[in-house]
Structure 1
Amino acid sequence: MEKEKMVFQIIKDAGKPLKVGELERLTGMDRNSIQKIVNELHINGLIEIDKCYNKILGVKGEQNG
């Protein structure tokens, strides 16, 4: 649960769309773990993602660049 909170906070603080590779560099976690967390956050309606461009757009309901 702590990893999920960390990834969510990074997405929230970024203020811009992120890719999984950027989250990988920022967290030090492996890509597969991050992707699972991102998918779970999306399913729970906490973040928005753009599957076409493989980007995490940000926290649902907030304006990001």
Structure 2
Amino acid sequence: MELEKAVIEAILKIGLPVKIGQLEKETGIDRNTLQKVVNDLSIKGILTTDRCYNKITAVKGESDDR
């Protein structure tokens, strides 16, 4: 749960869209662990991901100004 919180905070700090590599640089957590956390958050409906480009495109509860 702490990893999930750290990932969400990093995503909000970086801004959207975010790639796993950007998260890796920001958090210092290894890529495979980040991918697992992002996949879990996506399954729970907290994050929206773009599988084609492997980007996180939205966080539930955040406004989308597009």
| Same fold flag (TM > 0.5) | yes
8 Å CA contact 1:48–1:56 kept in 2: the answer is yes
Q: More displaced, 28-37 or 3-12?
A: 3-12
State TM-score, norm by structure 2. 0.85
Residue 63 of structure 1 is matched in structure 2 by 64
Residue 39 of structure 1 is matched in structure 2 by 39
How many residues align? The count is 65
Over aligned residues, Cα RMSD in angstroms? 1.6
Pairing 1:23–2:23 present: yes
State TM-score, norm by structure 1. 0.87
Q: Does the residue aligned with 1:35 lie in a helix, a strand or coil?
A: helix
Residues 60, 47 of structure 1: alpha-carbon distance in 2 compared, 3 angstrom cutoff: same
Higher relative contact order (CA 8 A, sep 6+): 1
AA aligned opposite 1:57: T
Residue 53 of structure 2 is matched in structure 1 by 53
**Structure 2 stretches of 5 or more lacking a match?**
none
